[in-house]
Amino acid sequence: MNRAPLFLLYINVLIIATCGLIYELLAGTLASYLLGDSVTQFSLIIGIYLSALGAGAWISSFVHEKLARCFIEVELGVALVGGFSVPILFLAFGYVSWFQPLLYGLVFLIGTLVGLELPLLMRLLKEEVDFADLVSRVLTFDYIGALVAAILFPMLLVPNLGLVRTSLLFGILNALVGLWGTWLLRPLMRQKGLSALRGRAMLVIGLLVAGMIKAESVTHLAEENQLSGKIVHAESSPYQRIVVTENKTGFQLYLNGHLQFNSVDEYRYHEALVHPPMSAVEAPQRILVLGGGDGLAVREVLRYPSVKAITLVDLDPAMTSLAECFPPLGTLSEHSLQHPSVTVINQDAFLWVDTAHEKYDVAIIDFPDPGSFSVGKLYTSFFFNRLRQVLTDSAVLNIQCSSPLVSPESYWCVVTTLEDCGFEVQPFHATVPTFGVWGFALASATPLSKPLNLPVSVAAELRFLDQNVMDHLFVTPRDLQRVDTEVNRLNNQVLVHYYEREWSRWQ
Amino acid sequence: MAALDRRALLKAALATSSGLVAGGCQRAQRSFNGELLSPSLGAGHQIRDGFVPQPDLENWEETEVAIVGGGIAGLSAAWRLQNAGIKRFQLLELERVSGGTSRAGETSFCRHPWGAHYVPVPGADNAPLWQLFDEMGVVNHAAGVPEIMEDVLCREPQERVFAGGHWTEGLYPRAIATEEDLAQRISFQDQIAKWIDWRDRDGRRAFSIPTALASDDPEVLTLDRITMSEWMQTQGWDSKPLFWLVDYCCRDDFGLSVDQTSAWAGLFYFCARRESSAQEAPPVLTWPEGNGRIVQFLADAAGPQLRSNRAVTAVKDQQDHVQVISFDTKTKIAHGLRARRVVLATPQFLAPYLISDCPTERKTDASEFQYGSWIVANIQLTDRPAELSYPLSWDNVFHNSRSLGYVVATHQSGIDHGPTVLTWYLPLCNDVPADARHRLLQLSWDHWAELIVGDLQQGHPHIQSLISRIDVMRWGHAMIQPRPGFVSSAARKRAAVPLDRIHFAGTDLSGVALMEEAFYHGIRATEEALLAEDNSVPRFYEALPRRGQG
């Protein structure tokens, strides 16, 4: 071989070294992303990978002939296994219970193959170059490759390509090194089978390119594993990740991975949320809906002819305009948010309540569950006291407060907090198959002036409630009895702690 | 622990992956700017250099009391005067804005602190402070026992620490603590409990707020002879997380490391706010602009009596009155004031420069007062950094840093999305305070910006693209330093004794820089002045009944 190809071989060393470290970094990042505890994950991945490099080097001693061909085969192997490692792991995380063995197994396999690369290459070159020069040059390029990877990975690759595409891209690089090798190392190979080898290399590259094109759907698919159907709409707003899935029964809305409703049985939830407070006030005119950007609660409110104005306050414009991107929601909500009496305000209700001047007859509170401090503040005594300032003296509010069966302390904490603010509270619950037993709290600043009377005209349109069923929602079964809790205040946010503790028991 | 070394800090900052590249090309990439600020240095140095303008005859006025200095101590003095029904007084403040190190700043979307940013709920025995909070409208009487209103108590999540690669709740770096560390922490808490419940023969506590009410028993005062780390070593502790926690608290409250802080001051931090070990540490009051809200209330109450941009250049005792010469830094006009009494509510190191013919002993005493320098930066963000572990809190601390981390200005308003301002604190814990002041003036805005961004990147690798502005305040004499020997020194006590008609206020007279101490001295000095003229004035700290939760 003359000098030019030799230099090109060193470039090969640089590329394969870069690829090798990238796979290691990918596995470490993915493991800490999916499993948490980055210190443990990174040290395990690094340890396993390094030991696998050793294993690869040892195995190389058993290769005695067809060194060049073997090197190319190894390249193609690394390209396939390394290139597809991240998509495979992403998908597997949702499906298999043996994710960790798979992860470490893959890391070991990649490490072993990468460990084979350099010893094979060095033996290929040993006839051409002085041994001392060879070791020094190969190792130099190997370490430079590691540096390149270490810099590219956090600065360029992860921010711009993401994990899935980075993995596939470096797979392609490995495969190209293999393909290139069929020319570069040709003097060292027999002609027989060379075309087949090239064909295989092309196939591997083709597979990886196809993977690159389909990378977005891999992410989708991975998300779908953790949700319960096919993703039909997904977007990330500045506030949350909004995903709509569909299965045979209907469609489901997820915010940050938490189910908000299922179109099959959402009517049960929204009828229980809206009709008790609406039927507790004589001819309610001005209605406040907090949260509920899907428009389903407003749909129920619009059944009352006395209603003159509805104000809906929801943080996320992406949520209140979701029906435009996903028409089935518009149909389900009967385009309620388009109704002329509805005013949509996209603001954090916590801040809006300070700026509101009008008073409302009914308030319907449909915030997400208090799983974070920024939502938890909307269930505090401070917020409820402020809210009272925008309610008429005889107003009635109803608030969803998670499941009294799964999370009794969370549920009763909301009730206790409302009572601490001077509200009269009537706890009740309804069964929503998708959620299970769900809790609400009907509250008013003064004792209710009249019994709950569901207007006949409204009842005729409902699928879940009638007068009798509504009355029975307020009967507390023996397993939903009250528990003592603290008051949820801004400076303790006990509700978030209750909620986290109680729901984590069920996961 | 060694003094803050810029190179070491920069190196630590640069060790993070994004900082690695930032070091070379950050200047070109930087998409934000800002200002390097400092309190009115020019006027201050003029006074130091003996500049005394002569007021024209028509610029002389008479008043009952002249207060020099519009920090918390001076403003509290004005508040006390008004409570005593005295309207004829003047408060002369050097700066355009009052408040001293408690002042606030403002951006287009929120207010933010420039220094002190919280006050713990006062103990039941601090009745005057309860009265102030009551007047500010933050005390709720609905429950019978007065309570601080919910919206000014620091909202959860209150604090988090970045250690071992992620954020965890609280200040103690649990993520890197072993069983032995946790055992030592409990042992530490037991010692604290012992000192909280300690009482002398007169029933006084070892540590209290105000410190003037605490015991002067030798058993307590000997703690002032050694450093906090020496005291901790005598207890047999060596836990790194524990030393880190205590070091952090010392730097946070005193601007000194655990190796520099007097053990008396270190224990004061942990003990003074609890009357009994059965009580939990009290919650803290805070506002988006920090203690700037208190400043605003007191300044509004002082009304036109508060004169800003007034550099006092001389205070002359004239037997039956005191002459106060000041200089309007805006109009360049000199003013004279004949006051029956003066409350000098400035740091004590200024007294020799301000008081004409200041006695030599006073000058010697004043030189015992040592002050630490601080950098406080306000960092405007267009959006919040992404969070993967414990969420953004009010107070956010980096374990592996000499900075104190940052507080979030929008936190208390409940604004959880979009732009915000981070207020970042760095005490310069040099062994020789003058070195720190020298460095403070030496470094450029670029240096500070680089250091601040590198520090923030430890916990927020991608924060640089979110930064829209960084303003950097250099506080040369930010706070009094309770090094061993100072709190128990005779010089400190003597400095509080009036010079005839001149009465001294200032938190440094306590040896610790706290809002409550400044407030106490403002009231104490004012009452001293009033009592010299009229012995019917009640002393608030004795006359007002206990308030709040006991």
Chain B residues touching residue A490 (CB < 8 angstroms): 150-151, 153, 155-156, 414
- Whole-angstrom distance, CA of residue A147 vs CA of residue A150: 5
Pick the residue of B21, B26, B151, B381 with the most A CBs within 10 A to test the interface with A by mutation: B151
Q: What was the pLDDT predicted at A307?
A: 97
Residue B151 lies in a domain: no
Task: Decide if B150 and A374 are in contact by the 8 Å CB cutoff.
Answer: no
Chain A residue at shortest CA distance from B159: A491
The residue among B282, B313, B345 that closes a domain is B282
Give the three-class secondary structure for A110. helix
CA dihedral sign of residues A129, A133, A138, A141:
negative
Q: List the CATH number of the domain containing B263.
A: 1.10.405
* Opening angle at CA A357, ends A351 and A358, nearest 5: 120
Chain A residues touching residue B414 (CB < 8 angstroms): 348, 350-351, 377, 490
Q: How far is residue B83 from each of residues B212, B386, B498, measured CA to CA in Å? A: 22, 49, 22
Q: Which of B369, B373, B347 is nearest to B475 (CA)?
A: B373
Token digits of residue B97 = 């804005």
Q: Do B474 and B376 belong to one domain?
A: yes
Q: What was the pLDDT predicted at A189?
A: 81
Residue B22 has pLDDT above 60, yes or no: no
The continuous run of DSSP H or E covering B343 comes out as strand B334-344
- Whole-angstrom distance, CA of residue B39 vs CA of residue A173: 58
- Whole-angstrom distance, CA of residue B41 vs CA of residue A312: 53
The catalytic site residues of A sit at 366
Q: Do B376 and B476 belong to one domain?
A: yes
Q: Which of A404, A375, A392, A390 is nearest to A490 (CA)?
A: A375
* Between residues A142 and A300, the one the model is more confident about: A300
Chain A residue at shortest CA distance from B143: A420
Question: B170 CB near a chain A CB, below 8 Å?
Answer: no
Q: What was the pLDDT predicted at A507?
A: 62
Going by the DSSP 8-state scheme, the letter that residue B213 receives in this structure is G
* Between residues B124 and B522, the one the model is more confident about: B522
Token digits of residue B152 = 């000014």
Strand B139-140 versus strand B147-148 pairing type:
antiparallel
Pick the residue of A236, A491, A500, A501 with the most B CBs within 10 A to test the interface with B by mutation: A491
* Between residues A419 and A36, the one the model is more confident about: A419
Number of domains present in the structure of chain B: 3
Q: Do B377 and B472 belong to one domain?
A: yes
Chain A residue at shortest CA distance from B155: A491
Going by the DSSP 8-state scheme, the letter that residue B492 receives in this structure is H
CB-nearest partner of B151 from A351, A372, A490: A490
Task: Decide if A490 and B17 are in contact by the 8 Å CB cutoff.
Answer: no
Q: How far is A38 from chain B (nearest CA, A)?
A: 7
pLDDT band at B9, cuts 50/70/90?
A: very low
Q: What was the pLDDT predicted at B550?
A: 43
CA dihedral sign of residues A42, A43, A48, A54:
positive
Q: Which of B245, B518, B495 is nearest to B351 (CA)?
A: B495
Q: How far is A142 from chain B (nearest CA, A)?
A: 21
- Whole-angstrom distance, CA of residue B74 vs CA of residue B79: 9
Q: List the CATH number of the domain containing B442.
A: 3.90.660.20
Task: Give me Rg for the CA atoms of chain B.
Answer: 23
Chain B residues touching residue A148 (CB < 8 angstroms): none
Residue B56 has pLDDT above 50, yes or no: yes
Q: Do B264 and B401 belong to one domain?
A: no
Q: Which residues of A298-313 are buried (b: 16+ CB within 10 A; e: fewer)?
A: bbbbbbbeebeebbbb
Q: Do B310 and B230 belong to one domain?
A: no
Domain that holds residue B214: 178-282
- Whole-angstrom distance, CA of residue B279 vs CA of residue B205: 15
Residue B394 has pLDDT above 90, yes or no: yes
Residue B7 has pLDDT above 70, yes or no: no
- Whole-angstrom distance, CA of residue A454 vs CA of residue A90: 50
Residue B149 lies in a domain: no
Query: How many other C-beta atoms are found inside a 10 Å radius of the C-beta of residue B338?
Result: 15
Q: What was the pLDDT predicted at B51?
A: 74
Q: What is the pLDDT of residues B208-258, one digit of tens each?
A: 999 999 999 999 999 999 999 999 999 999 999 999 999 999 999 999 999
- Whole-angstrom distance, CA of residue A184 vs CA of residue A195: 14
Task: Decide if A372 and B391 are in contact by the 8 Å CB cutoff.
Answer: yes
High-pLDDT (> 90) share of chain B, % = 82
Residue B11 has pLDDT above 50, yes or no: no
Residue B266 lies in a domain: yes
Q: Do B382 and B462 belong to one domain?
A: yes
Residue B119 lies in a domain: no
Q: Do B406 and B501 belong to one domain?
A: no
Mention every residue, 6+ apart, whose C-beta is less than 8 A from residue B329. Answer: B40, B43, B94, B309, B310, B311
Task: Decide if A155 and B391 are in contact by the 8 Å CB cutoff.
Answer: no
Task: Decide if A373 and B157 are in contact by the 8 Å CB cutoff.
Answer: yes
Chain A residues touching residue B164 (CB < 8 angstroms): 39
Task: Decide if B18 and A239 are in contact by the 8 Å CB cutoff.
Answer: no
Task: Give me Rg for the CA atoms of chain A.
Answer: 31
Q: What was the pLDDT predicted at A159?
A: 67
Q: Is the peptide bond before B53 cis (omega within 30 degrees of 0)?
A: no
Q: What is the pLDDT of residues B99-147, one digit of tens each?
A: 999 999 999 989 999 999 999 999 988 999 999 999 999 999 988 889 9
Going by the DSSP 8-state scheme, the letter that residue B85 receives in this structure is T
- Whole-angstrom distance, CA of residue B550 vs CA of residue B538: 23
Q: What is the pLDDT of residues A65-121, one digit of tens each?
A: 888 889 999 999 999 999 999 888 877 766 676 878 899 999 999 999 999 998 988
Q: How far is A155 from chain B (nearest CA, A)?
A: 7
Q: Report whether B422 contacts B407 (CB < 8 A).
A: yes
Residue A436 has pLDDT above 70, yes or no: yes
For chain B, give me the number of helices (H) and strands (E)?
18, 21
Residue A35 has pLDDT above 70, yes or no: no
Residue A33 has pLDDT above 80, yes or no: no
Q: Do B71 and B215 belong to one domain?
A: no
The beta strands (E) that lie in B272-321 are given as 284-285, 306-307, 310-317
- Say how many CB pairs under 8 Å bridge A and B: 62
Q: Report whether A99 contacts A88 (CB < 8 A).
A: no
Q: What was the pLDDT predicted at B351?
A: 95
Q: Do B377 and B449 belong to one domain?
A: yes
Least-confidence region, from A92-101, A118-127, A137-146, A357-366: A92-101
Q: How far is residue B82 from each of residues A311, B77, B149, B305, measured CA to CA in Å? A: 47, 9, 25, 11
Give the three-class secondary structure for A254. strand
Q: Do B196 and B57 belong to one domain?
A: no
Going by the DSSP 8-state scheme, the letter that residue A282 receives in this structure is S
CB-nearest partner of A377 from B20, B155, B417: B155
Residue B5 has pLDDT above 70, yes or no: no
**What is the arithmetic mean of pLDDT over A335-345?**
97
Q: List the CATH number of the domain containing B509.
A: 3.50.50.60
Q: What is the pLDDT of residues A184-238, one digit of tens each?
A: 888 888 888 888 889 999 999 999 999 888 877 776 666 666 666 677 787 778 8
The residue among B223, B254, B282 that closes a domain is B282
Q: What was the pLDDT predicted at B390?
A: 92
Chain B residue at shortest CA distance from A158: B462
pLDDT band at B165, cuts 50/70/90?
A: confident
**B495 φ, ψ to 5°?**
-65, -20
pLDDT band at A241, cuts 50/70/90?
A: confident
- Whole-angstrom distance, CA of residue B486 vs CA of residue A221: 67
Q: Do B487 and B351 belong to one domain?
A: yes
The residue among B282, B317, B341 that closes a domain is B282
Q: Report whether A113 contacts A56 (CB < 8 A).
A: yes
- Whole-angstrom distance, CA of residue B23 vs CA of residue B27: 8
Residue B261 has pLDDT above 70, yes or no: yes
Q: What is the mean pLDDT of chain B?
A: 91
Chain A residues touching residue B18 (CB < 8 angstroms): 154-155
Alpha-carbon torsion, ordered A134, A139, A140, A141, to 10 deg: 90
Residues comprising chain B, all counted:
550
Domains of chain A plus CATH, in order, are 3-224 (1.20.1250), 226-259 (no CATH), 263-504 (3.40.50.150)
Residue B307 lies in a domain: yes
Residue B16 has pLDDT above 70, yes or no: no
Least-confidence region, from A172-186, A188-202, B41-55: B41-55
Task: Decide if B21 and A151 are in contact by the 8 Å CB cutoff.
Answer: yes
Q: Do B13 and B71 belong to one domain?
A: no
Residues comprising chain A, all counted:
507
* Between residues B430 and A353, the one the model is more confident about: A353
Residue B278 lies in a domain: yes
Residue B455 lies in a domain: yes
- Whole-angstrom distance, CA of residue B284 vs CA of residue B516: 13
Q: What was the pLDDT predicted at B231?
A: 98
Q: What is the pLDDT of residues B422-465, one digit of tens each?
A: 999 999 998 889 999 998 888 999 999 999 999 999 999 889 99
Residue B124 lies in a domain: no
> With 0-12 CB in 10 A as exposed, 13-18 as middle and 19+ as buried, what is A1?
middle
